[in-house]
Structure 1
Amino acid sequence: MKLLLASVLLVAFLSLSEAKIFGKCEFANTIRGFGFPEGEISTWVCIANYESAFNTDATNTVTGDHGIFQISQIYWCSTGDSPGGGCNKRCADFHDDDISDDAVCVRVIFNEFVGMTGNGFDAWTTYAAYCNGDNSGWLDGC
């Protein structure tokens, strides 16, 4: 009986923290709900598409980037059991379907880069390569 109860609790816990692949409109509406400025939404959609294909479980094993926004373990999160980095989070926290903590960290990164370069999007290499310009098409159909 104890084993059965433990198994049920484990399954319930795991189901609460599953990864997710967002649709572009779902992603746009989600970050809009987090208070992202309307003028940035289409650029964030473009970045998330090229960084992770909207997959919250994405990992770049070469660069050590995590989650839907590909947050760097070098500066912003800890690969250990304790929170760390500039966002004081574990990188594993960016791999579940709750992207609210990802969004908070992304705003920290964005604001840091505004201070350094004048453009917060410069923190993402995909911005210069794919998303620097008119991104309004990313919201077509939304």
Structure 2
Amino acid sequence: MSRTILLVVLLCFMSKTFGKTLTECELVMEFRKHGFPEDQLKDWICLVNASGFRRTDVVNVGADGSSNYGLFQINDQYWCSDGDEPGKGCNVRCKDLALDDVAPQMKCSKIIYGAHGFEAWFGWVDKCKGKTLPEIKC
């Protein structure tokens, strides 16, 4: 019986430490909340689907050994600091780009977009660029 209780407690704790998967409508709400232009929302949704699978906590290691964080798979080589202090292009800690609070991810993605447009994301180039994207129904 005590093992069952321990297992339940551990599972409850673990569920709070894992990231959140956002629905398309939740993503749209976040984009609007953070001031993303309406005419770009289809591209941003496609980008997130191509890059981060709509999970806030996704961290992938690239072939070059660099890591990509969060919904937008923001790279640590250029945009975020692996240390305790914020840094690099977005002046943010990488670990803050893989949390349920998407505000740092949204802010950083705007900085990246301002510097390079959607072309900065290989996922967008491969899966979204030049394609007819589905209408947003939220």
TM range (shorter): 0.7 to 0.9
Identify unmatched segments of 5+ residues in structure 1. 1-14, 114-119
Identify unmatched segments of 5+ residues in structure 2. 1-15
Deviation digits for residues 5-43 of structure 1 (CA, Å, limit 9, x no counterpart): xxxxxxxxxx5x862110111101211111100011111
Q: 1:78 and 2:75 equivalent? A: no
Q: 1:97 and 2:94 equivalent? A: no
Normalising by structure 2, we get a TM-score of 0.81
Kept after mapping to 2: 8 A contact 1:46/1:138: no
How many angstroms apart in 1 are the aligned matches of 2:79 and 2:18? 22
Specify the alignment match of 1:109 in structure 2: 112
Specify the alignment match of 1:123 in structure 2: 120
Task: Report SS of the residue matched to 1:86.
Answer: coil
**Structure 1 residue runs of 4+, over 4 Å off?**
none
Kept after mapping to 1: 8 A contact 2:51/2:124: no
**Percent of pairs identical after alignment?**
36
How many angstroms apart in 2 are the aligned matches of 1:81 and 1:111? 26
Q: How many residues align?
A: 123
Task: Report SS of the residue matched to 1:137.
Answer: coil
**Relative to total residues, which structure has the larger helix share, 1 or 2?**
1
